[in-house]
Chains A and B, each alone.
Chain A
């Protein structure tokens, strides 16, 4: 189970002229939940976007499930089994909830059946005819997550999914991530909310100025709290 599903080596990324990632090295084992921590602007979102090729230019290596993805177009990278949940959630306002859910094409076998998705997120079934952006913030977040589960993605890139949610919604989301972990999904999360991320993650990376400055397993968390305070102020 310790095969590396995602491996970033010397990953550099640019938006136009600005050089944002300066040689990111990280790996994510199959079935793990990995959290990228760091301040705003440290390069965590850019790291996720670079995996999918959604930056201006990138260099280095992105290995996904043994395939080199650095030269591939975003839709080809997605077809390696990658699901992306952007920070702004990316719910389409001209599409209904159900159309949003059905939008991503199937990337491979093993996508979650729609019945199971509706069982997991009953609100989405109730509101399937509503415009995607008429849902509450929590429902939109569930929708953004649900639609990549249906596509059969096995590697989920989740950007700040707990942001702006009420505590009770956040707890529900946390249980959902826990369930996905039990089902064998591999998850990379960018989280500002340390309390949300800490109980879920198997491994942490800390980013600073476009680089990984520290990586450690969940078991080492207690011994690293002083350092986390220093980097994040948590």
Chain B
């Protein structure tokens, strides 16, 4: 975790220092989205070489979907309550 937070922080400093170099920032955004695909490809690689993971992959789809639905349902209900109590009557809410 410390590596991830540390690297994010270093990136933040670089981004802050070079924020006026719009070409650099736009390039960073592009690299970011390209790396995402490389990342998924390499995640596929590590799953593909793992036989235990491979044999269970077909069973995991439904479970994963159910976890996602419960996570979304929980946050939507909580957001609904918070919205009704704290946000509904604010002026900027046109």
The answer to whether A binds B is no
